[in-house]
Chains A and B, each alone.
Chain A
Amino acid sequence: MTSAVHSSLRAHRASPASPFAELDDSHVVQAFLSGQSRAFDELVARYQARLLNFIYRTIGDRERAEDLVQEVFIRVYRHLHRFDQAKKFSTWAYTIASNLAKNELRNRSRNPLVLFQAIRKHWEADHRPLQFEDSSSRPDDMYRKRHLRALVEQSVEQLPEHHRVVFVLRELEGKTYEEIAEITGCNLGTVKSRLNRARNSFATIIAPHLD
């Protein structure tokens, strides 16, 4: 089982024809719980990028986000037998990811090194040379596009933690209000209120730069 977990994780991308590819999440979970260890690789393949993007947009640190995604999968692996299969696996995975991201933000807020890292990150973004990803675009268009990207990233980072999680789940992950409520452990009213405030803040931050 151990070697299966390790080797097939590596081989998964190389072989798209996973025997579990056609199954929905709940069946993949059942397959894993019934002893088919490779089913776990399918869950990893399905969720690693999504969770990475969610956590990255929430905490703003790519390397740390990857560590936390691994931690999500470790916890999933550890507790999958206790997972209520009447619920959606994705919601459960996002709940774990959201809690880890929140803990990370809480820990970082107490660490003065974070300020330095944030300043360095923004400096690097501002001084990065223009990337000619699209040769048909004019340089000023490319500059505007890049500027807008940096701007929206910074705007998300400026949102308060509780608002940011809800905002990212809604705008980037496309979660429903009900799913967000379950993931964040809040009631529907709180989710709506936080999302409205997050959207207002986001638009207010970004509006002056778009004129």
Chain B
Amino acid sequence: MDCCEFREKYSDFADGLLDDESELRARRHLSLCAPCRRFDAAFRTGVRALRDLPPVEVSRSFDDNLGRRLRHELVVRALAVNPAWGAVAAMLVMVTIGLVTWDLAELRAARHAASAVAASAAAPHAILIPPPVEIRIDTTQIFGDISHPFDPVLLVADTTPFADGSTLRFDIPAVWGGR
């Protein structure tokens, strides 16, 4: 066996998969050839060092991150299995947005009428600007206790200032389970 053949069959030799005759020829070559001996020693030392490398440990946040991704997967799967859930959820959100928008429009019309009357009767005074009104709809209520990753629906009301300094107020429909 020459060096070329030894290197060609090296993998089988290292794994002890050569037949008896080839194994004997390889060993004989190894005993006579210093470069191949060095090659063999380098491979075995290297692999030993590789196996001795300290194992990489998962980080502390691994479980939390995986848990979060699995929960997301579960919700996606639930929606995929029963598309009706998705349709119902979308419909509920649309209905609520519609109701709130309609409520706001009515409220604003009433307030504008009231402020016009007040302005004509009273002396001008400083205009108070009410803070933006935010409505957060907790979409988890759509799915019962499932803590799914959908962001809450956020509605920001148009806060046109009123001369009387009053603030906007409205109720979220009871369809959201009392929230």
Residue in B8, B11, B39, B77 with the greatest tally of chain A CB atoms within 10 Å: B11
Give the contacts of A1-36 with B (CB-CB under 8 A): 1-3, 5-7, 9-10, 12
Contact partner, A65, options B39, B55, B56, B146, Cβ 8 Å: B56
A42-89 interface with B by 8 A CB criterion:
44, 48-49, 52-53, 56, 62, 65-66, 69-70, 73-74, 77-78
Query: Contact between A152 and B53 (Cβ–Cβ < 8 Å)?
Result: yes
Interface centre among A12, A148, A199 (most CB of B within 10 A): A199
B58 A199 Cβ-Cβ under 8 A: no
Residues of B within 8 A of A202 (CB): 43, 46-47
Find chain A residues with CB under 8 A from B50 CB: 152-153, 156, 171-172
B42 within 8 A of A: yes
Pick the residue among B11, B59, B67 that contacts A199 (CB under 8 A): B11
- Check: A109 CB closer than 8 A to any chain B CB: no
Residues A6 and B73 in contact, CB atoms below 8 Å apart? no
Let me know if B38 is at the binding interface, CB within 8 A.
Answer: yes
- Contacts A5-B74, A153-B53, A172-B50 given; indicate if A66 touches B42 (C-beta within 8 A): no
Question: Is there an interface contact between B38 and A78, defined as CB atoms closer than 8 Å?
Answer: no
Task: List A contacts of B147 (CB < 8 A).
Answer: 2-3
Q: B64's contact among A10, A74, A200, by CB below 8 Å, is which?
A: A10
A-B contact count (CB 8 A): 116
- Size range of the chain B interface in the assembly: 35 or more
Select one of B12, B39, B45, B51 contacting A204, CB under 8 A: B39
Q: A203 near B46 (CB under 8 angstroms)? A: yes
**B73 and A78 contacting across the interface, CB-CB below 8 Å:** yes
Distance of A77 Cα from B71 Cα, bound (Å): 11
A192 within 8 A of B: yes
Nearest A residue (CB) for B52: A149
Residues of B within 8 A of A77 (CB): 70, 73
B21: interface (CB < 8 Å): no
Contacts of B53 in A (CB 8 A): 149, 152-153
Distance, CA A139 to CA B38, complexed state (A): 26
Chain A, Cβ-Cβ closest to B74: A2
Closest Cβ of chain A: how far from B52's Cβ, in Å? 8
Q: Which residues of A contact B11 (CB under 8 A)?
A: 192, 195-196, 199
- Give the complex CA separation of A199 and B70 in angstroms: 39
Residue B136 is within 8 A (CB to CB) of chain A in the complex: no
Distance A70 CA – B66 CA, assembled complex (angstroms): 6
- Distance in angstroms from A205 CB to nearest chain B CB is 8
Interface residues of chain B, those whose CB is within 8 Å of chain A, are 7-12, 14, 38-43, 45-47, 49-53, 55-59, 62-71, 73-74, 77, 146-147
Which 5 pairs across A and B sit closest by C-beta, in order of nearness?
Answer: A6-B67, A207-B42, A196-B11, A203-B43, A9-B63
Given A70-B66, A210-B42: 4 more A-B contacts, CB < 8 Å? A78-B77, A195-B11, A196-B9, A203-B10
